[in-house]
Amino acid sequence: MRSSGYNRYHCYALAICVCFAVGAALTRADDTDHDAQAGSSASRKWLCSQTDICSPETELTPGLQYAVERFESQRDCRLSCGKYGSIWPMPTGEAGFIGNERVRFDPWKVRFHVVAPGEAATQFLRETNRLFVSNLLKECTRNCTLEGSKQILVRATVANETLVLDWATDESYALVVRTTDTATFVDIQAPTVYGARHAFETLTNLVTGSLSNGLLMASAARITDRPAFPHRGVLLDTSRNFVPLKFIRSTLDAMATSKMNVLHWHVVDTHSFPLEITRVPEMQRYGAYSSSQTYSRQDALNLVKYARLRGIRILIEIDGPSHAGNGWQWGPAAGLGNMSVCLNQSPWRKFCVQPPCGQLNPLNDHMYAVLKEIFEDIAEVGAPEETLHMGGDEVFLPCWNNTKEIRDGMRAQGFDLTEESFLRLWSQFHQRNLNAWDEITERMYPGIKEPKSVIVWSSHLTDPKYIETYLPKERFIIQTWVESQDSLNRELLQRGYRLILSTKNAWYLDHGFWGSTSYYNWRAVYSAGMPATQHRSQVLGGEVCMWSEYVDQNSLESRIWPRAGAAAERLWSNPKSSALAAQRRFYRYRERLLARGIHADAVIPHWCVLHEGKCL
C-alpha cells in the first residue's frame, strides 16, 4: 500500500533524454596529459605498493614492497591499488575484492539485460543503463571506439517493483565482475532499483580511460554494499541568490556520483519567493526577484523526475514562521490582513537576525489558509511518500512582541507576554501546519496509512528543557545545526527524537567567506563524526549546507564540490579510518567529477596527486 498513488511516476523515465555524444566530446585536455610530468608513455609502467601507493617504475621507494602487476597509467593502477581501489564512497561490505587484471573495451558495445518484476522498475533500470553509458563515455581519454573490443554483458536483477524512495528504502546491492575467454560478465543484484543504480555507479569506479583507444575495467571484482544512513543530503539555498535550473541539475549529477540521496531545496526565504504556487500565484508574483528568476510548477516536477532517476529525493522547505517576508506582502491589499509582520523593517537588527525581515503572523487565520494551499502544491509536486521541511529556526520573538496586533491578539486569547507564551504560540503554529499537512496527504494519498513526520530546524523551541512540551517526537524530526561539541544531539537522542545532522563547524560549506566564520577543508568535512550511541537508529543521517548569501551560479559548484563528497563517504560508510587513508581515492573522485562536467575545486597541488605519498 505504500506505493499507492504512484502511477503518475511510472512513465517519468521516458521524459529524460541522455545525450551520449556530448559526454564523449567533453573530455578534458588534462586527461591525456595526466601523467605527462611523471614521463608516462606506453612503455612507462606503474606499480602498487604494500602501502597502497601507485608509483611509476622509475620512482620506486627503496625497501618498499610492490605487487608484481604493471599498469599502463596511474589511474589504471588506482583501480585496484588498496582494498577499495578508486571506489567512492567506500563500500561497507566486509569481503570486497578488486582484481589486478584489466579488460579493454568499447563502451558502445556494453550489453544490458534487466530483470525486474514490473514495467516501472524495468524502465527505470533501462534509463539507468543509459546514464551509465553516458558516464563511461566521459572517462575516455582518447577515442572510445575499440576494434575487437571485449564483450561486456551486464545483468541487473531487482527483487522489488516499488519506486518508493524514503528513509525505509533498501539501497543495498551486490556486484560481481568475472571474465572468461569470451566475455566479461557483470552481475548486479539489488532489492530495489535504487540499490541497482548505486551498483552501476560503483561499476563506473572500476573503469578508467586507456592511453590508447577504449576503456579499461577491472576484470574481476566482488562488492557488497549498503549505506550506513538513509538520509545523505545537500541543502541548496536558491532564495537569497537565484540559481538557474542548469546548476541545480549539475548539483544532482554530482550527488548521484557521490551516492547522496536527498536534495534539501531551500527554495524560499524572506529574500525571495521564486517558486510558482499555482493555487496562490501572488506568492511568486510578489516574491520573485524578476520574472526571469523563477521556478515554474513544471520546472519543479521535471526536477523531481530528474533527481529520482539518479536515486535522489527532493525535499522542499517552506520556511516559517521566520524567514518569510517577500512574497507575503500582498495580504492587506487582498483584504487578508498582515500575513507577515516586521516586513522589510529597519533598522533590521530590532526585527530579525538577518535582513530583510519578515515573520509570519501566527494569529492571522488567512495566513494559515494560504500556507495550506502552498502545502497542497508541494504535496502534488513531490512523490506520495515525500514529506515536508517546515523550517522553524531563528524565530525572533521581539518581532512578535513589537507588533501591536500580535500583542493585542495574544492578550485576547488569554496569553501574557512572557517568553513561555511566545514559545507556546510558536509551537501552535507548527502544530496547526502539521494538522493541515496531515489532512492534505491523507486526502491525496489515502493508500499511505501512517501520517508522515515533518522536519524542523533546531531552535529555541527544541531546547531540551522545552521540546517535549511543544514538539511530539512521534511527528517532528529535528535537523540540528549545532557545532560538534554541543550536547544538543545527545540530549535529543536521549529523549527519543530522530535527528538529521548538519554539523555547523564542518558541514556549513558557506563558512569561511563571510564574517568571522572559518573555511572547512575536505578533511574537516570527512572527519565530522556521527553519534556513536545506543540511539544510533534515531540518527537518520545528515546534510551539508550551501547557504547562498555569498554564492550564485558562478561559484556554486566549486563551493560545494568536492567537499560535499567527503560528507558523502561519512554518511554512506561512516568509516573508522581517517581522511589520510582516504585521500588518494578522494583525489580520483574529484577527477571523476571534473570528467562529468562538475567544476570541483582543487584540494591539493596537482604535483601531489601525480606523486603519491610525497606530500604527507
pLDDT 10s digits, 435-464? 999 999 999 999 888 899 999 999 999 999
**Could you report how far apart the first and last alpha carbons of the chain are, in Å?**
54
Q: CA-CA distance, 202 to 223, in Å (whole number)?
A: 9
Classify 120 in phi/psi space as left (phi over 0), alpha (psi -120 to 50) or beta: alpha
Question: What is the rounded CA–CA span in Å between residue 602 and residue 525?
Answer: 15
The chain-wide mean pLDDT, for the chain, equals: 93
| Grid coordinates of 124 | 527505470
Residues 183, 153: Cα–Cα separation, whole Å:
7
With CA atoms as reference, report the closest residue to 389 among 463, 306, 478, 461: 478
Cα(68)–Cα(77) distance, rounded to whole angstroms?
12
Question: Cell triple for residue 126?
Answer: 533501462
Q: Is 313 helix (H, G, I), strand (E, B) or coil?
A: strand
Q: How confident is the model at residue 43 (pLDDT cuts 50, 70, 90)?
A: low
Look at residues 225, 19, 192, 5 and name the one whose alpha carbon lies nearest to residue 116: 192
Instruction: Say if residues 395 and 359 touch (Cβ distance below 8 Å).
Output: yes
**What pLDDT, on a 0 to 100 scale, did the predictor assign at position 104?**
96
Q: Helix (H, G, I), strand (E, B), or coil: what is residue 48?
A: strand
Report cis status (omega within 30 of 0) of the bond before 384.
Answer: no
Please identify which residue in the block is written with the cell numbers 601523467. Answer: 35
Give the catalytic positions in this structure.
394
User: Which of 27-31, 93-97, 116-120, 240-244 shows the lowest per-residue confidence on average (mean pLDDT)?
Assistant: 27-31
- Band of pLDDT at residue 34, cut at 50, 70 and 90: low
- Nearest 5°: the CA angle 312, 317, 323 is 150
Residue ranges of alpha helices (H) inside 175-260 are 193-204, 245-257
The closest alpha carbon to 547, from 347, 321, 269, 287, belongs to 269
Q: Which pLDDT band holds residue 22 (cuts at 50, 70, 90)?
A: very low
Please write the tens of the pLDDT for every residue from 473-524: 999 999 999 999 999 999 999 999 999 999 999 999 999 999 999 999 999 9
User: CA separation (Å) from 144 to 60, 135, 147, 215, 216?
Assistant: 31, 12, 10, 7, 11
pLDDT for the residue 29: 39
Question: 323 forms bridges with which residues in the sheet?
Answer: none
**Closest to 204 in 3D by CA, of 605, 588, 603, 608:** 588
Q: How far apart are CA 230 and CA 384, in angstroms?
A: 18
Residue type, 61: T
Is 406's pLDDT higher than 70? yes
Q: Does residue 291 surpass a pLDDT of 60?
A: yes
Rounded Cα distance, 184 and 410, in Å:
72
Interatomic CA distance for residues 507 and 513, integer angstroms: 14
* Cα distance between residue 517 and residue 74, in whole Å: 38
For residues 69-85, give the mean pLDDT. 97
Q: Which of 268, 292, 310 is nearest to 548 (CA)?
A: 268
Residue 44: pLDDT band by 50, 70, 90 thresholds? confident
Phi then psi dihedrals of residue 406, to 5 deg: -75, -40
Cβ pair 546, 509 in contact under 8 A: yes
Nearest to 342 by CA among 396, 385, 289, 273: 396
Statement: residue 359 has pLDDT above 70: yes
Tell me if 551 sits within 8 A of 241, measured CB to CB: yes
Spatial distance between the Cα atoms of 438 and 388, rounded to a whole number of angstroms: 11
pLDDT at residue 15 above 50?
no
**Residue 112, C-alpha cell as written in the block:** 544490458
Residue 31: pLDDT over 90:
no
Longest Cα separation, the chain = 87
Provide the pairing of β-strand 262-266 with 231-237.
parallel
Give the span between the Cα atoms of 504 and 518, in whole angstroms. Answer: 10
Task: State the pLDDT at residue 37.
Answer: 52
Kindly state the average pLDDT of the residues 237-266: 98
Cis peptide preceding 332, ω within 30 of 0? no
| Upper half-sphere CA count for residue 93 (Cβ side, 13 Å) | 18
The torsion angles phi and psi of 424, rounded to 5 degrees, stand at -65, -40
- Say yes or no to pLDDT of 36 above 90: no
Note whether 189 and 173 are within 8 A (CB).
Answer: yes
- The residue among 10 and 166 whose pLDDT is bigger is 166
- pLDDT, residue 95, reads 74
Q: How confident is the model at residue 321 (pLDDT cuts 50, 70, 90)?
A: very high
pLDDT above 50 for 16: no
- Answer whether 391's CB lies under 8 Å from 371's CB: no
Query: Residue 137's closest CA among 98, 108, 97, 110?
Result: 108
CB contact set of 450 (below 8 Å; sequence gap of 6+): none
> Other CB atoms closer than 10 Å to residue 517's CB: what's the count?
13
The pLDDT assigned to 94 comes to 84
611 grid coordinates: 606523486
Model-level pTM greater than 0.85?
yes
